[in-house]
Amino acid sequence: MALSDSFQQLKDFDISDLDFESIGVWPFPVRVILLVLVFCALLGGTYYFHVKELGAELDRVQMQEVKLKQTFEQKAFQAANLEAYRAQMAEMEKLFGALLAQLPSDTEVPGLLEDITELGNGASLNIVSITLQPERAAEFYVELPIKIVAQGGYHDIGAFVSGVAGLPRIVTLHNYSLSSRGNGGLLALEIEAKTYRYKTQED
């Protein structure tokens, strides 16, 4: 009976008669419909202002989780290979020390010049001049060019160049020129030898 009365009230209800000041005397079905609409509006507002923001935060956290997992895998790999890395570092330090030993210091440059002179004399070359050029600083080392002018036979020059290349110190040869002197097949050699030393903090 009450249900049929409610439907009858809803049928007889005119929406133009709505007055929010007298909402308490509205027909029961209308109040129920209004309550449902308000509840749906609250749900929609809650989703839009809170749940949607939580979803975006969840997406950010999930992306951060993926990055953290990748970082963890990398660090776990490094930790697992730590001993191998240490062995490689020790080997590199050993090789680096051996290379540094081949780089002359300032006090060894006169000895290097003596070695070059002895090689020239041993190859029967006439060493005309050996001139130190200005140093050139690079990132990790300092380069010292040495201009050498000598005279001798073709094979003598070859023996001299081979001897310089076999020095225990690092010496490289650059910018050479050969010209004939016309004196019994003698050749004039001009060549730039470069030696290197380790760059210190003072440099």
Question: For 153-171, what is each residue's pLDDT tens digit?
Answer: 888 999 999 998 888 888 8
User: Residue 3: pLDDT above 60?
Assistant: no
Residue-level length of the chain: 203
Please report which confidence band the pLDDT of residue 78 belongs to, taking 50, 70 and 90 as the band edges.
confident
| Amino acid found at 54 | L
Averaged pLDDT for residues 114-137: 89
The pTM of the full predicted model, rounded to 2 decimals, is 0.50
Q: Give the list of residues 6+ apart from residue 173 with CB closer than 8 angstroms, or none.
A: 161, 164, 165, 191, 192, 193, 194
Contact 9, 29 (CB under 8 A): yes
Q: Give the list of residues 6+ apart from residue 121 with CB closer than 8 angstroms, or none.
A: 127
- Give the position of tokens 């060894």: 108
User: Residue 87: pLDDT above 60?
Assistant: yes
pLDDT digits (tens, 9 = 90+) for 35-47: 888 888 887 777 7
pLDDT digits (tens, 9 = 90+) for 13-34: 555 555 666 666 666 666 777 7
